[in-house]
Chains A and B, each alone.
Chain A
Amino acid sequence: MTEESSSTKTRLLGRGLTGGIHPPVKSDLGYWLSIRAGALIFGGAIVLFVWSILHQSFSAWTSHGIHLLTGTVWSPSTSNYGALPLILATLITTAVALLVAVPIGLGTSLTIIFFLPQRLKTPLTSLVELLAAVPSVVYGLWGLFVLVPWMNTTIEPKLASITGGGFPFNGATNGFGLLLASIVLSVMILPTIVAISRDVIAAVPHEQIEGALSLGATKSQTLLKVVLPEARTGIFGAITLGAGRALGETIAVAMVIGSNPQIPKSLFSTGATLSSTIATEFGEASGAQLAALGALALILMVITASVNAGARSLTRRALRGHA
């Protein structure tokens, strides 16, 4: 590698991109360039991606400003673009989905790791992972035709009787709505929570478990007081990752939530989330509505990107060994 070729490269591509393999022969510059070209193309595409959504929503932000976030009415036909009902529905469905999926997911991981004989561990893990293979639209179909009748006739009346018709199980039951969407979401994020928490729980050193048992602890005491606390960073990572998925899930939610962009009054109400609204209204939208939907996309992107980034840092910290 001559002096002049290396300085040329540095000038052309900047210091940030040099690193690692240096082509020993000038003719290998092709390789060196092409792998960076791939990264550049994709990097450029991502920039375009972010820009497209920003740009699309510009006019919406300039015409409505903060009202986009705080307005309580979303009604394109009357040019009202307040996304608060959508934001609320998104947060509520995600929260309820987590409430259901996290205990079940943690329990499932603990069972697989600590209560199953060796030969059952892999098959059952694979079965739970199979949940992740089912496409979103199929879950929507299942929610629509299998769960709705069941919710209508059994679950929702039972829940209503628990609170005597009070919040959050008040209002007419129609099967559709926030509760159903939450349940479908919880099934969809379950494999994520199980997979990640399984990794972090299995990473708890065996000596810790032996230490607790040798003091006279029972199995469940060991799991609750030693294993889970030590795995808690990773478990939070799993929960955050599950939240990220639930926040962004579009199709299954769109199919079961009822597409009613109003402030939800109970878990039984129908509603609409940020993503489901984009899906249902985009086809017919134009002009101001399209810009407003772009704004929804931006909000969605910001929320999910930050949640995913947070999840990523939590899981990496956990797997590196911090409790």
Chain B
Amino acid sequence: MTDVLMDLPPDPILERRRIIQETASKKIGRRQLNSRILSGVFGLTLVLSLIPLVSVLATLIKRGVSVISWGFLTHDPIQPTLINQKAVGGIGNAIVGSLVVDGIAALVAVPLAILIGLYLAETESRTANFMRAITEIMTGLPSILLGVFSYIYIVLTMKAYSGFAAIVAITFLMVPVITKAAETAIRGVPHTLREAGLALGARNSKVSRGVILPVAAPGLITGVLLSLARAVGETAPILLVIGISGRTDWNPFHQMSALPLDIYQDSASGYASQQQEAWGIALVLVVAVLVLSLGSRFVAARMRREQR
């Protein structure tokens, strides 16, 4: 008789569903709160990341702007003395030194890196893979080791400190970085282009020069400018080998100064005027680095647009 309702055992599925929903409803408030707290924590870390950046830039501007003037950028330094504590002069020699060292290093590093980049991009062999690995590891090596290397082979041999020794160290610094960018840029060129060039009868070298490199140029230029941005700020590789000089000197075989080195030395000075000067130099240096870094992106974007 259907009007007597039997006591059926509860359906386990429905029972589980009930328990699960009960638990879920009970815990949802807590879980949502945890989610919000954690999101807040994550957001906080972003803020924490940016605080040092803001602090550094703000301090650079605050303490460095007052030091800078045209005279500051062009004149040579004056050593302050106990009598004349405020005298600082300028960083003309350091600017020239950085130009000489980094400029010549770039001139040497770029062609070399392009050749190596072509080799790595076009060769499939264990040797090439090994070279690539070594190059990548080199980009992460402490730059002071490059200074040690240059000291041993150049300074000790020539029995003198020189800008040349610094150039050797910086070249060694730049080549792996540019090579990596070069290989990526060259690999990015569709190999149908090379095949087309060869099919037209051109030699490989001509194809590379005329077709591949121009197409890879944006990536290459980015790599060069970025490695320059890094090189300009490096103190360690040149610290041990470049010597010291208070005069503007364009001869790389003499001792010279450089911007980051100047900052390093001034920061240790007992004279407040020199400590202050360090901030001015630092501002100039950071501006130079920013111009190079942002410039690399800008130039690459411009060139890519023109390629279309």
Stretch in contact with the other chain, from A35-43, A61-69, A263-271:
A35-43
Q: Is B300 an interface residue (CB 8 A)?
A: no
Q: Is B193 an interface residue (CB 8 A)?
A: no
Task: For A150, give the chain B residue with the smallest CB separation.
Answer: B55
Known: A17-B127, A45-B172. A115 touches B43 (CB 8 A): yes
Q: Is B298 an interface residue (CB 8 A)?
A: no
Q: Is A89 an interface residue (CB 8 A)?
A: no
Cβ of A115 and Cβ of B39 under 8 Å apart?
Answer: yes
- Of A124, A135, A279, A308, the residue contacting B141 (CB under 8 A) is A308
Pick 11 A–B contacts, CB within 8 A, sort by A. A21-B123, A39-B131, A43-B134, A111-B43, A111-B45, A138-B286, A139-B56, A218-B35, A247-B142, A250-B144, A297-B144
Cβ of A218 and Cβ of B282 under 8 Å apart?
Answer: no
Cβ of A251 and Cβ of B236 under 8 Å apart?
Answer: yes
Size range of the interface on A? 35 or more
Q: Is A207 an interface residue (CB 8 A)?
A: no
A-B contact count (CB 8 A): 266
Q: Is B251 an interface residue (CB 8 A)?
A: no
Q: Which residues in chain B, 190-220, are within 8 Å of chain A measured between CB atoms?
A: 198, 203-205, 208
Q: Is A173 an interface residue (CB 8 A)?
A: no
Question: Contact flags (1/0) for A213-224 with B, using CB distance below 8 Å?
Answer: 000101111011
Stretch in contact with the other chain, from A102-110, A159-167, A231-239:
A102-110
Cβ of A141 and Cβ of B234 under 8 Å apart?
Answer: no
Instruction: With both chains docked as a complex, state the minimum distance between the C-beta of B209 and any C-beta of chain A, in angstroms.
Output: 9
- Of B35, B136, B141, B236, the residue contacting A221 (CB under 8 A) is B35
Cβ of B282 and Cβ of A221 under 8 Å apart?
Answer: no
Q: Is the interface of B mostly helix, strand, loop or mixed?
A: helix
Stretch in contact with the other chain, from A72-80, A91-99, A126-134, A174-182:
A126-134
Cβ of A137 and Cβ of B235 under 8 Å apart?
Answer: yes
Instruction: Kindly state the separation between the CA atoms of A51 and B85 in the bound complex, as whole angstroms.
Output: 46
Cβ of A23 and Cβ of B204 under 8 Å apart?
Answer: yes
Cβ of A312 and Cβ of B136 under 8 Å apart?
Answer: yes
Q: Is B119 an interface residue (CB 8 A)?
A: yes
